[in-house]
């Protein structure tokens, strides 16, 4: 006997719902209200709950996600070709800091969360790392190949000697020369590289590999005062300053001399990192980045509300959570500005989104360039619908701070943070690393084998089918919520417990287990010369 149709309606005002059944529903299936499907409808795709005339609004999440391009009978499959997208909301006359603080049972922080601790690494600047890594920063792409060769030796020869070090990461990038380094927007990639180097998972140890002739000189990348620099051994004397290996320096005669210089420098830093030990720290020291990757229409039903509930708990317990992805919040700008803690925060949200609007306009595209073919195959018709499901990752609390791309959180910037980034998985993750995240939550409905070498990533599947097929890639199955196996709060506690274990080093995410490490991709809106 075929399973009963499962429809997921987000608001009583909605005139469409999505199909929850694995494999979708066939033509002729009878819905709970007696409507007969006149199309086969794939899982997570929309079906009309009533007739919708051409030009009339289509509502999901209680908001207009588009307009019917033809008459739609009840029981019709509503895909992207049957919807025209609404205009983008204006950035003027928005409600600012008008929403009172969210209350109710959902906002209460469970005692198990409020009193939780994790085992982290205290850093000299007061931040806390979830991993004890050596980061080796490059100033220019030209040195990436040499550093890759040196990393082989560091991994094989040095790391086994230092069991308290979790690994070494080459922080290479496609920047540093052939770029308009003095252009106003060049500050974005420059501060991104700088601030990734200062991520709490690198423990304040900083090793730089430079070529020598590049535009982005080490002193420009990391000017005096950007980091409390430890004394660096230089023969018989101790000199303060950056620990820089310049490949063009005269003392490096031959390729192997360059490699040895990098290996020797890495050894000094690894010795110090190996003396560090985990210690119990309050949950308020977590800095969590949240992100969508390969979304489907179930993202806003299962995985993203799950992350939103954990976000509310974490922020309520004093931790920091960053949400991002400019195009995926743009259509909900009024919700964000209303949730701003102050008018100044609301103005900062508008500033960042206005800047991004102008950036897209210069490229002769608009926000409709997002969504992807995978998003549409997963039931998301356009960016308006995607945005409504995306922002729920941010929960319901007030937005406390706003970061421009590549900026780093200040020690005083706790709470819920809008870190303005493009929606690209790789660029968003890169910019959240620069902001200072020490743990990453990544939701996916299509399946994305994503990971970061710099920070543990927990991947959350939106549906059970994906979690079962990718059983050794997905860390959490949020599809259990839609399946009725557990409540949102039960699933949130499961996710939170896993986060604490991973942050403490007691468990690895699947991405860590397999060594899945995506490249850092800089956001560079400045010209290339």
Burial of residue 90 (CB within 10 Å: 0-12, 13-18, 19+) is exposed
* Predicted pLDDT of residue 495: 98
Q: Is the pLDDT of residue 371 over 50?
A: yes
Instruction: Tell me how far apart the alpha carbons of residues 378 and 446 are, in angstroms, rounded to a whole number.
Output: 7
* Predicted pLDDT of residue 239: 36
pLDDT digits (tens, 9 = 90+) for 42-69: 999 999 999 999 999 999 999 999 999 9
Cβ atoms within 10 Å of 253's Cβ, excluding its own: 8
pLDDT digits (tens, 9 = 90+) for 253-287: 999 999 999 999 999 999 999 999 999 999 999 99
Are 134 and 237 contacting, i.e. CB atoms less than 8 angstroms apart?
no
Q: pLDDT band for position 241 (50/70/90)?
A: low
**Percent of the chain with pLDDT strictly greater than 90:** 93
Are 332 and 418 contacting, i.e. CB atoms less than 8 angstroms apart?
no
Arithmetic mean of pLDDT over the chain: 94
| Residue 106 structure tokens | 């959902």
The CA-CA-CA angle for residues 270, 276, 278, to 5°, reads 135
Cβ atoms within 10 Å of 89's Cβ, excluding its own: 15
**Short-list 49, 31, 29, CA closest to 39:** 29
* Predicted pLDDT of residue 227: 67
Q: Hey, which residues does 419 pair with through a beta bridge?
A: 403
Burial 395-415 (b: 16+ CB within 10 A, else e): bbbbbbbbbbbbbbbeeebbb
| Mean pLDDT, rounded, for 449-475 | 97
| Mean pLDDT, rounded, for 8-13 | 94
Task: Please tell me the pTM assigned to this model.
Answer: 0.95
| Residue 370 structure tokens | 């997002």
């Amino acid at each position: 006997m075929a399973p009963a149709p499962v429809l997921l309606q987000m608001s009583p005002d909605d005139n469409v719902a999505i199909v929850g059944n694995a494999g979708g529903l066939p033509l002729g299936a009878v819905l709970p209200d007696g409507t007969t499907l006149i199309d086969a409808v794939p899982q997570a795709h929309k079906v009309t709950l009533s007739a919708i005339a051409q030009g009339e609004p289509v509502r999901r999440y209680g908001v207009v996600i588009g307009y019917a391009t033809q008459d739609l009978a009840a029981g019709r499959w509503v895909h992207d070709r049957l919807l025209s997208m609404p205009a983008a909301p204006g950035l003027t006359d928005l409600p600012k800091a008008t929403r009172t603080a969210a209350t109710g049972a959902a906002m209460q922080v469970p005692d198990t969360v409020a009193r939780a601790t994790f085992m982290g690494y205290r850093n000299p600047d007061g931040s806390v790392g979830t991993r004890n890594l050596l980061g080796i920063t490059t100033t220019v792409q030209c040195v990436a190949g040499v550093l890759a060769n040196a990393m082989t030796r560091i991994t094989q020869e040095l790391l086994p000697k230092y069991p308290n070090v979790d690994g070494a990461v080459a922080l290479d990038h496609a920047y540093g020369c052939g770029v308009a380094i003095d252009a106003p927007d060049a500050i974005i990639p420059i501060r991104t590289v700088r601030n990734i180097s200062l991520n709490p998972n690198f423990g304040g140890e900083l090793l730089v590999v430079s070529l020598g002739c590049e535009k982005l000189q080490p002193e420009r990348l990391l000017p005096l005062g950007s980091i409390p620099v430890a004394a660096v051994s230089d023969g018989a004397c101790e000199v303060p300053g950056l620990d820089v290996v310049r490949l063009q320096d005269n003392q490096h005669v031959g390729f192997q001399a360059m490699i040895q210089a990098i290996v020797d420098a890495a050894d000094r830093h690894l010795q110090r990192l190996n003396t560090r030990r985990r210690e119990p720290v309050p949950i308020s020291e977590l800095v969590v980045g949240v992100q969508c990757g390969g979304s489907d229409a179930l993202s806003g039903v299962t995985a993203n509300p799950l992350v939103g509930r954990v976000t509310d708990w974490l922020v309520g317990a004093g931790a920091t959570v960053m949400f991002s992805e400019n195009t995926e919040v743009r259509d909900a700008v009024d919700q964000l500005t209303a949730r701003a803690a102050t008018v100044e925060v609301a103005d900062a949200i508008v500033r960042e989104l206005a800047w991004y609007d102008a950036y897209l306009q210069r490229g002769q595209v608009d926000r409709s360039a997002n969504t992807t073919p995978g998003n549409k195959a997963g039931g998301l018709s356009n960016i308006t619908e995607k945005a409504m499901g995306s922002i729920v990752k941010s929960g319901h609390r007030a937005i406390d701070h706003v970061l421009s791309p590549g900026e780093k959180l200040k020690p005083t910037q706790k709470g819920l943070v809008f870190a303005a980034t493009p929606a690209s998985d790789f660029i968003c993750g890169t910019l959240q690393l620069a902001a200072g995240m020490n743990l990453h939550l990544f939701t996916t409905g299509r399946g994305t084998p994503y990971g970061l070498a710099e920070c543990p990533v927990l991947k959350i599947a939106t549906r059970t089918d994906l979690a079962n097929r990718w059983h050794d890639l997905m860390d959490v199955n949020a599809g259990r919520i839609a399946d009725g196996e557990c409540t949102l709060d039960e699933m949130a506690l499961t996710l939170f417990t896993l986060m604490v274990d991973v942050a403490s080093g007691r468990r690895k995410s699947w991405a860590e287990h397999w060594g899945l490490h995506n490249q850092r991709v800089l956001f560079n809106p400045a010209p290339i010369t």
